[in-house]
């Protein structure tokens, strides 16, 4: 184990070694290519190549170097480890905010997810991402309504529905009343399109769940203010199955919006 950890430490101790090995695994390169790809000096490239050759990770072919089968094996595993830690660093920032239902999903299922977080400079980044996903879908199902997410993009959402997007939204009664009274003309035109089904349900999930054509998104809200903290979207099939099942449970418990609403 000590020897293995020493090899991992060798690769991680310099910012140039891992990129150099993965670059050589992609295609044969000469020293000048490696300087350009890694930003390392000529002396650093030479020193690293000698160390790689000593480990039997690379072989020289003329003026170029390429990974051996052993080197490619290490490079693939190394890149997978780097990718995993990049995902972990992203999820670490929002881990304490994740609802239990989402945190319980296999991490492999959300390893390729796009995480869009609100920042001080751009608090509407998750809303902007949500708008982008809306533009790319012809169907739309949503539960876990928070005005902080949907109200800023109400015009785009309603116009997409009027133009033909099929939508099902499960709202608490108070939100239905708020939307109908605050935006009467817009909500009437949207409902009259026949493309929107509104269901009402008091008990909403502590997160927003949306199913688009090609992906699923989970919205993380601040429990204190209702502000959008992050939006996570993925096309992973396991997450899609969970989202379909979760949405169906809430839909089965919901009731059609009354005419009075």
pLDDT reading at 63 higher than 50: yes
- Give all strands of the β-sheet with 29-30 in edge-to-edge order: 29-30, 64-67, 58-61
- Give kind and range of the element (H or E) at residue 2: helix 2-13
List domains and CATH numbers for the chain.
Answer: 2-80 (1.10.10.10), 98-256 (3.30.870.10)
φ, ψ (nearest 5 deg) of residue 62 = 70, -125
Q: What is the DSSP code (8-state) at residue 57? A: S
* Residues 6+ away with beta carbon under 8 Å from 225: 148
pLDDT reading at 238 higher than 80: yes
- The share of the chain scoring above pLDDT 70, in percent, equals 97
Q: Which two tokens stand for residue 62?
A: 């003329």
pLDDT digits (tens, 9 = 90+) for 173-229: 999 999 999 999 999 999 999 999 999 999 999 899 999 999 999 999 988 888 899
Q: What is the DSSP code (8-state) at residue 127? A: H
Compute the Cα dihedral for 89, 93, 96, 100 and give only its sign: negative
**pTM for the model:** 0.72
Tell me the C-alpha distance between 199 and 115, whole Å: 28
pLDDT digits (tens, 9 = 90+) for 152-161: 999 999 999 9
Instruction: Identify the pLDDT of residue 87.
Output: 77
The per-residue pLDDT of the chain, averaged, comes to 90
Instruction: Identify the pLDDT of residue 247.
Output: 96
pLDDT digits (tens, 9 = 90+) for 162-178: 999 999 999 999 999 99
Instruction: Identify the pLDDT of residue 260.
Output: 53
Instruction: Identify the pLDDT of residue 66.
Output: 96
**How far lies 19's CA from each of 50, 71, 76, 216, in Å?**
16, 13, 12, 33
């Amino acid at each position: 184990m000590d020897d293995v950890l020493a090899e991992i430490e060798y690769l991680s101790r310099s910012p140039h070694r891992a990129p150099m090995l993965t670059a050589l695994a992609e295609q044969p390169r000469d020293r000048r290519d490696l300087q350009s790809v890694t930003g390392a000096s000529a002396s650093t490239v030479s020193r690293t190549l000698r160390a790689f050759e000593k480990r039997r990770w690379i072989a020289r072919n003329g003026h170029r170097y390429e990974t051996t089968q052993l080197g490619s094996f290490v490079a693939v595993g190394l890149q997978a480890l780097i990718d995993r830690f990049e995902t972990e660093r992203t999820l670490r920032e929002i881990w304490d905010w994740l609802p239990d239902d989402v945190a319980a999903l296999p991490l492999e299922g959300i390893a390729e997810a796009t995480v869009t977080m609100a920042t001080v400079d751009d608090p509407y980044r998750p809303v902007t991402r949500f708008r982008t996903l809306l533009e790319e879908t012809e169907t739309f199902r949503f539960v876990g309504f928070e005005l902080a997410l949907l109200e800023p993009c109400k015009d785009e959402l309603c116009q997409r529905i009027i133009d033909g997007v099929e939508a099902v939204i499960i709202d608490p009664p108070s939100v239905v009343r708020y939307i109908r009274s605050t935006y009467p003309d817009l909500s009437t035109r949207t409902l009259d399109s026949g493309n929107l089904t509104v269901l009402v349900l008091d008990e909403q999930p502590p997160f927003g769940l949306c199913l688009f054509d090609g992906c699923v998104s989970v919205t993380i809200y601040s429990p204190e203010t209702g502000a959008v903290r992050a939006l996570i979207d993925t096309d992973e099939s396991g997450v899609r199955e969970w989202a379909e099942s979760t949405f169906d449970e809430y839909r089965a418990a919901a009731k059609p919006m009354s005419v009075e609403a």
